[in-house]
Structure 1
Amino acid sequence: MTSLPPTANPQSSKRLLQTTCPYCGVGCGVDVVRQGAAGPQLSDLQGSREHPANFGRLCIKGTHLLETLGQDSRLLFPMVNGQRSDWQTAIQTVADKMRSILETDGPEAIAIYGSGQLLTEDYYVANKLMKGFIGSANIDTNSRLCMSSAVVAHKRAFGEDIVPCDYEDLEHTDLLVLVGSNAAWTHPVLFQRIERAKLQNPDMKVVVVDPRQTDSCTLADLHLPLAPGTDAVLYCGLLNYLSQHDGLDNAYIEQSVSGLEEAMHIASEWDLARVADVCKLPQSIVETFFRWFTQLPRVISFFSMGINQSTTGVDKGNAIINCHLASGKIAKTGSGPFSITGQPNAMGGREVGGLSTMLAAHMDIDNTEHQRIVRDFWQAPNLATKNGLKAVDTFQAAADGKIKCLWIMATNPVASMPNRELIEAALSRCEMVIVSDTAAQTDTLKFADVVFPATGWSEKNGTVTNSERRISRQRGLVPPSSEAKHDWQIISEVACALGFDEAFSYQHPVEIFREHCALTGTENGGSRALDLSPLQDLTEQQYDAMRPQQWPFSEVHRAGADRLFADGTFYTPTGKARMIAVTPALPTQATSADYPYVLNTGRVRDQWHTMTRTGNTARLLKHMDRPWLSVNSADAKTLGVENGDLLALNAACATDTTVILPVTIDDKQRKGDMFAPFHWSATWGSHCKVGALLNGANDPLSGQPELKHGAVKAKKADMASYGLVYGNAEYVGPVRESFSYWLACPTEVAHSASVADVKAPQAVLDSVFELLPKDTQWATRQSADAVSVVATRDDKLVLAVLISANALNLPSDWLDSLFTETALSAEQVSALLNQQPDDAFLLGKLVCSCFGVRENTIKQAIQDGCNSVEALGKNLKCGTNCGSCKTELAALLTAEAESSTDTESTPYERII
């Protein structure tokens, strides 16, 4: 019997491929099955069990990556001046303009603004072009908004930008301090590791330092809801407490630390009473935290955006590091300051010098020896020898007419940068704006003169480095979409068009990776921890098969040890770590009588940055389908608003911008403080440009903007009508924009928008009628305080406009069920007209996105006897897939327990 050849086996084309998630800095490994040669299909996405960052876990965003890859949202071909172009014309247009600017204005008139979404190879080529060949250091990235304060703090303390901890440390500590981090939402896979560690070691303490009571507090033994911006006060007080309570490791300080006396001179002014007063905390809570830090042998300070995004972010980082150096709780298992990155490749960008204040390979731009090394290695004709413009300064320079060509790569600064009015003015004035992106619709694209379609996740091929210094492959799983090219290819083609062919003749990313690794080892000799030279000779096959690698490598690390700083020496000229004298300072954007409220911004669980990827799947909008404004109940009473009301915000820096958001009354929010997510933008609504309310004030050392503390005024929005527009996209779009206010809230099957208007419902109806599709049947209902219009075609719903004098809260599942009906019954049309959903759909907000489990269902299960997250999972399946909702389940359990008389179980027992 003759066997069939392998190609005849329908299963033979299946292949398991491993790559890396493109979201946060955890750097999770991802397994994907690819099937088919021509037009391959991806399926069966799961976490990689072998990857040491996640061991098979994925959050909800990673779990649904394949749903975000639709072609409808993609840039597919180059454009010049708004018209489709070919690659040669687009590349030459950019090169000609750059050459002209170089001749007339010099290299400082050109800038690149990149992204932590770029792979290390992309970053490397962009940095090489700007700093080595164009001759300017004006290359910065949105990592400036993420980690730049931690970078400077590391360099001041350790002599090099080094994160000294590993993820395993989180599982072997006695005290974990989450400071300025809502890891439950921003780094959920790491938070799950922390949950497991606490379950294995119930004696492990968790402290959350955050003005808000976030979902991360479900795991906390202690929460310090300090006044916004007072983190440095807290840590200066801790340093003083350490000195007064036998908490200093004098032997370690003598051997490995300098600067103690200067740091203590300022810290000594901060006793317990003064710290508690300035931080607005009970003294007993402060003392408990200080005592635990002093007495427990292993401590991790896990800090993130709440520390970095500040006008004193560098000092805050150093205040934290000071306490670890003074107590000797560093360079040991389960101990150290651990700055966690927000971007998937912010660390890789730092390795190649992707910020304007770096050279390359952790070398300093103002160091003449480092300049020589890089110049000779690159054979660079015009190496930059001074710092370039940081992000905020770059856009200011463009607004001032000094930057004449700005190339934006893989980011959406009009939406993500503070001071939106300035950013728009800068891009409007700039002579040439180039945008390389995957997304066909962003707030930034409308300013582009030249648009390059770039590859995205599943197409890109290269490496990324996560928050624990682990290099992983992000593999190309499918061919590029249509005419899209890799960023390194686009940059190289522009470089070649500028005449730099020999230095940018790359044919495969392994060539770039080898060059990057070789540069890190050039004349290193142990002077820099970043030495990737053991990887500089990888073949293409070895590169394709490369497993996750963590640096420093023991074979080139000067101490020959796996753990950084284990020998007690650092990368400073003296070999000692430096403690920094930190003088605490309050935020620059201070409140006033005119602007009395503090505005804090941040992430939500299921969304990423400006939603150009996550916004492509309605499944990720089920948990929270719109932005909101968290307001303390006392402030809500003062402002005269209730849940769901629209609140209008203004700031001194945004005279032409009003942000309008629905209110969520939340006493986990401090009185006087408000919180809004930053993901939504003008692409999503008429009044949700949250970045416009922050003025761009930034740390003078790092340039990182203050995104956690704006000053705003608020008043109830003057609306007479509220409602929604739901149905086919071609009808929803024009109708929603006829309202004073609209916010897109798409569902899995239709387009939808929440709307409001200054006109009464009856007056709104007149403008709606003229926009209704003419080839449909209309049904209407009108009363003094509500109007409804339902348009059908052959009894199938195509558009519903439901308006009321009061806020509407109609479940999207109900509308989706009607939209998917082949023919609506008279009763269903009547229910729509009466704005009355079936009782079965009134189950509250979605909590578990994976299995569609809603809040009221969970509450009922708790009342029926499910008294743990595990029990809820067994009963309802919630929390058993990605685990992102576990903290919310724990919060519901805690709330139910607090409202009952049963107090036998501890909060932590309820969490697990």
Structure 2
Amino acid sequence: MDAIHTTCAYCGVGCGILATPTGGRAVEIKGDPDHPANAGRLCSKGTHLGETVGLEGRLLHPMIGNRRANWDKALDLVAKRFRETIARHGPDSVAFYVSGQLLTEDYYVANKLMKGFIGSANIDTNSRLCMSSAVAGHQRAFGEDVVPASYDDLDEADLIVLVGSNTAWCHPIVYQRIMAARAARGTKLVVIDPRRTETCEEADLHLPLRPGSDVALMNGLLAHCRREGLVDEAYLADHVDVPAGFWNALHTDHDLWSVARTCDVPPAELQRFYELFAATPRTVTLFSQGINQSIRGTDQVNAIINVHLATGRIGKPGAAPFSITGQPNAMGGREVGGLASTLAAHRGFGEQDVADVGRFWAAERMATRPGLKAVDLFRAMGEGRIKAVWVMATNPAVSLPDAGRVREALAACPFVVVSDVIADTDTGRFAHVRLPAAGWGEKDGTVTNSDRTVSRQRAVLPLPGEARPDWWIIKEVARRMGWRTAFGYDRPAEIWREHARLTAYRNDGARLLDLRDRAAIGNEAYDAMAPFQWGGAPFADGRFSTPDGKARLIDLTQRQAEDPLADWPMTLNTGRYRDQWHTMTRTGLSPRLARHREEPLVEIHPDDAAALGIADGKLARVATPQGESLFRVAHSTGQRRGELFTPIHWTDRQSTGGRTGLLPRPLVDPHSGQPGFKMTPVRIEAVTVDWHGFLIVHGEAGAPDCLWATRVTVPGGALFELAGLGDAAALDAALPRGERIEANDPARGTRRVAVLRDGRLVAALFVTRTGELPGRDWLISQLSQPQGLQVLAGRAPGAQEDRGAIVCVCFDVGVRTIVAAIRDQQLADVAAIGAALGAGTNCGSCRPALARLLATEGKEAAHG
């Protein structure tokens, strides 16, 4: 079968994929060399998409409570309960909470139903958690939510500034493009991030600023440019509105020494950054969650944009502020009004916009004001104001801040509907109705990536069971609620054409989002649609989407960073791991993607850990006023003193700990409503356990009942890393049936159990109180293989290579293998490691780690 051109399911880079079905649910994945976003490159997650398309854990039939139902009965019930709730309590008593995993067509239908026909704007999206501060910042500065950059600008920039972005891990293909620019034309790279991440390894400068001091940093940069005569006065006069007194306010407390003190960075390093920026007109400032996920995120976005506007570094090749989104279709959702604060087609809630959209839709009861944003929506649910909610393609019981309260709100809501691909999610457990949605590989529609490129996502596999596309599910409910004509769609192309017409409707050039040239596209042309970028080169003519055509400088004042609290003396930062995605409902199915970071770690500076008695590799309890959770400890000199980092991915389905969502405060940016995940007051303390161990099980298995049990997907089954208090005998309940062979060492408190069925290994349990545990790799490889007593040794007879922790997931290369090759073969650079072992030659996201290993080995050799 020929390869199908589609797009990746993960981040906002929007990579093109060639997917070839190879029989059953198997798919071969390659990068699309003709797609403008990635030119054939894929990161580790995209490379291993084929491992995640099986039906393990899938929701395949509508469910009412715990009973299977047919589609008619489930849809009728959803429509009936929403109708009744609206009739009794008004349209604002219902809500949708949707997702950047939806396609643009799905998003459009959901937005139209809620805002145009139900008559409420209570539809928000998990993209609120990712980039809504960028949206608000764009709207304040430009008059429209437009990203004024393209990936091509990275190729033409002489300086790239990464702010609050671990690009090497979170957007690896963008990072590889940056590295290619450095190699080809000597592009300089500055990374501004409190943590020293892998992205910093090949940077010319890293500024580890104090969290929350980004406005001071950028205000100081702008003040420096002003003092040095680098502000483009002509550009400002012709194209930018400057508030009265802007410059006087800017120069207060923004000299080099004051800014260095506020940001807690060395003045000399700050001066290097300012001089490098000032000397380099072709500068792209690329920013992501570290800027957006703050209670002052919008101001931080506008501080960056201010610098670019004032120096004329916008609308030119290689010069732009560039917000890079987290989700595959966050941008498409923004285009069709997926946020509670906007209407479709980049319109707001002004009287004329409401009238225009209502007229276009022939809407019966248009929403006339913004709805509840994500955090407020679930707070209103907990207070009893939201009485029916429909959650689509997301898991707010894990991902929202103060997730314990979110669960309480879902439990209290009279009617909860969840559309999802997975049968058992943390949110789905609160659902009265669960609807089986199409997953990646089964969907058909469009997505828009971070640089405004629209691509087709095409179905590769047939719909399994009774799963249906999200747009179909939504329109069927709408029709049952009485709006048959307005929701008479039969295919995604019809929805696309309507969306495109709406972007052009009464748009006389006021908005750059204008798809009129695609509004009459036929079904065949839609099916064959090649990637295209809307908006051209935004603002190249100096005209912006404001009434007077001028951009706006935003007057910003720096608030002092919060002082540590006596009971919560440290600061928590949260983020992503390289090979995992959101709450792991997809990536958690891939054995390879599990290898890089098998457990949720709390990263802490070694000096802090020493002062608190927290050992590397042991367990610690991280607590905030909102909640607490356990994490495995990782000492990291890349952490600032007084700060912690935890990943966002683990849920109750994978671990008894690692629940980062329980910890952040439900505080939001006043302009965007985006939660401040990056600065939570926190404390940490060591947790002492009586024993630790692991369990390897063939096939599916439930988690053992103990203090710490983290599930890792492995070939043929699951690995559970374990630790606990008291007697470990309760672990026997997790062992499958079969013949047991066992070895005990009471002196060391060591117990080893193998379970055989028909002579083949189906489980292995290793527990110790004081001793060391064997490696897991050989035992994992023995699952379902014929075994004898030798399995209790935990390793193969004779010598065996210990690969160490996996560094390169694409080629399954461990750290010990890499270090040995560097030493034995005298490898001198990353390319040589690639030639010898393959590591770093596919997606490249491990290249910073390889560079660090080279540097470490070089230092040891110099001292050896």
* Paired position in structure 2 for 1:747: 714
Offset at residue 591 of structure 1 (A): 3.1
Letter aligned with residue 424 of structure 2:
Q
* Contact residue 7 and residue 457 of structure 2 kept, 8 A: yes
- 1:294-348 deviation digits (Å, cap 9, x = unpaired): 1112111100000000000000000000000111111100001000000100100
In the alignment, the residues of structure 2 paired with residue 55 and residue 837 of structure 1 have an alpha-carbon distance, to the nearest angstrom, of: 46
* Superposed counterparts of 1:270-669, under 5 Å: 270-365=254-349, 367-552=350-535, 562-586=536-560, 591-654=564-627, 658-669=628-639
- 1:570-614 per-position Cα deviation (integer Å, ceiling 9, x unaligned): 1112211100011123567x6311111111110111000000110
Instruction: Output the CA distance in 1 between the equivalents of 2:467 and 2:3.
Output: 24
- Look up the equivalent residue of 1:34 and give its one-letter code: P
Cα drift, residue 770 of structure 1: 5.8
Give how far 1:797 is off: 2.3
- Of 253-262 and 205-214, deviating more is 253-262
Q: TM-score, normalised by structure 2?
A: 0.97
Comparing 873-882 with 164-173, which one deviates more in the overlay? Answer: 873-882
TM-score (norm 1): 0.92
Q: Does residue 1:853 correspond to 2:837, yes or no?
A: no
Answer yes or no: is the 8 Å Cα contact 2:159–2:188 preserved in 1: yes
Is 2:167 the partner of 1:183? yes
> Once the two structures are superposed, what CA deviation does each residue of 1:238-268 show, in whole Å capped at 9, x if it has no partner?
1111111111111111111112554323321
Deviation at 1:746, TM superposition (A): 2.6
Deviation per CA, 1:814-834: give whole Å up to 9, x if none: 22133253123x3332x13xx
SS of aligned partner of 1:744: strand
Does residue 265 of structure 1 match 2:248?
A: yes
Match of 1:720 among 690, 702, 725: 690
- Rounded to whole Å, the distance in 1 between the matches of 2:523 and 2:79 is 31
Residue deviations 1:505-527 (CA, integer Å, cap 9, x gap): 10000000000000000010101
Deviations 1:623-642 (A, max 9, x none): 11111111101011012122
Q: Which residue of 1 aligns with 2:66?
A: 82
Cα distance in 1 for residues equivalent to 2:18 and 2:274: 43
How far apart, in 1, do the equivalents of 2:542 and 2:334 lie? 24
* 3-state SS of paired residue (1:659): strand
Aligned positions of 1:46-125 closer than 5 A: 46-125=30-109
Q: Distance in 2 between matches of 1:619 and 1:807?
A: 28
Asked if the contact 2:696–2:780 (Cα under 8 Å) also holds between the matched residues in 1, the reply is no
Rounded Cα–Cα distance in structure 1 between residues aligned with 2:509 and 2:339? 23
Question: 2:529 corresponds to which letter in structure 1?
Answer: M
CA deviations over 1:783-837 (Å, ceiling 9, x no partner): 233221313324432222222224856433122133253123x3332x13xx999
CA distance in 2, matches of 1:902, 1:568: 57
Number of residue pairs matched by the alignment: 861
1:800 aligns with 2:755: no
| 1:645/1:807 contact within 8 Å kept | no
* Amino acid paired to 1:782: D
Distance 1:602 1:545 in 2: 37
- Contact map agreement 2:20 2:460 (CA 8 A) in 1: no
Equivalent residue for 1:250?
233
| Secondary structure in 1 matching 2:634 | strand
Per-residue deviation, 1:773: 4.8
Q: Give, in angstroms, the shift of residue 545 of structure 1.
A: 0.3
C-alpha contact (below 8 Å) 2:778/2:796 kept by paired residues = no
- Partner SS for 1:127: helix
Contact 2:699–2:716 (CA<8 Å) still a contact in 1? Answer: no
Q: Given that residues 811 and 837 in structure 1 are in contact (C-alpha distance below 8 angstroms), is that contact kept between their aligned partners in structure 2?
A: no
Name stretches of at least 5 consecutive residues in structure 2 with no aligned partner.
Answer: none
- Are residues 696 and 586 of structure 1, via their aligned partners in 2, closer, same or farther at CA, if it must alter by over 3 Å? farther
Note if contact 2:28-2:50 (Cα within 8 Å) is conserved in structure 1: no
The residue identity in structure 2 corresponding to 1:342 is G
Aligned residue for 1:692?
A: 662
- Please, which moves more after superposition, 811-820 or 537-546? 811-820
**Are residues 290 and 537 of structure 1, via their aligned partners in 2, closer, same or farther at CA, if it must alter by over 3 Å?**
same
1:201-216 superposed matches below 5 A: 201-202=185-186, 204-216=187-199
Distance apart, 1:230 and its partner CA? 0.8
Structure 2: distance between partners of 1:43 and 1:380: 42
Q: Does 1:844 pair with 2:804?
A: yes
In structure 1, the residue corresponding to 2:593 is in which secondary structure?
Answer: helix
Partner SS for 1:103:
helix
* Aligned equivalents of 1:34, 1:593: Cα separation in 2: 58
Counterpart code for 1:568? G
Cα gap change, 1:259/1:811 in structure 2, threshold over 3 Å: closer, same or farther? farther
Select between 892-901 and 739-748 the one with higher mean Cα deviation: 892-901
**Given residue 380 of structure 1, which amino acid in structure 2 is its aligned partner?**
A
Tell me how far 1:114 sits from its aligned partner.
0.2
Counterpart residue number, 1:910 = none
Residue deviations 1:469-522, cap 9 Å, x none?
010000112221110000000000000000000000100000000000000000
The one of 813, 821, 826 equivalent to 2:777 is: 813
**Alpha-carbon distance in 1 for matches of 2:185, 2:233:** 29
- Conservation of the 8 A alpha-carbon contact between 1:310 and 1:587: no
Instruction: Name the SS for the 1:733 alignment partner.
Output: coil
Q: Distance in 2 between matches of 1:403 and 1:770?
A: 42
Cα distance between partner residues in 2 of 1:157 and 1:296: 23
Contact conserved, 1:32 with 1:42, CA < 8 A, in 2? no
Match of 2:702 in 1: 733
- Secondary structure (helix, strand or coil) at the match of 1:840 reads coil
Out of 124, 128, 133, the residue aligned to residue 117 of structure 2 is: 133
Task: Determine helix, strand or coil for the equivalent of 2:299.
Answer: helix
* Partner residue, 1:156: 140
Q: Which moved more, 1:794-803 or 1:697-706?
A: 794-803
Question: What SS is found at the alignment partner of 2:545?
Answer: coil
Out of 732, 741, 754, the position equivalent to 1:791 is 754
For residue 96 of structure 2, give the secondary structure of its aligned residue in structure 1. Answer: strand
Do the aligned residues in 2 keep the contact of 1:262 with 1:580 (CA within 8 Å)?
no
Query: In structure 1, how many angstroms separate the alpha carbons of the residues matched to 2:798 and 2:113?
Result: 61
Q: What is the CA-CA distance between 1:771 and the residue it aligns to?
A: 5.7
Q: Which amino acid aligns with 1:764?
A: A
Sort the Cα spacing of 1:769 and 1:577 in 2 relative to 1 into closer, same or farther, 3 A: closer
Relative to structure 1, is the Cα distance of residues 362 and 774 closer, same or farther in structure 2, using a 3 angstrom cutoff? closer
SS in 1 for 2:390: strand
Provide the C-alpha distance between the structure 1 equivalents of 2:482 and 2:560, rounded to a whole number of angstroms: 50
Q: Is the CA contact 1:778–1:790 (under 8 Å) kept in the aligned structure 2? A: yes
CA distance in 2, matches of 1:322, 1:770: 61
Deviation sequence 1:97-118 (CA, Å, 0-9, x none) = 1111111100000000000000
Task: Please give the secondary structure, in 1, of the residue aligned with 2:108.
Answer: helix
* Aligned equivalents of 1:902, 1:807: Cα separation in 2: 33
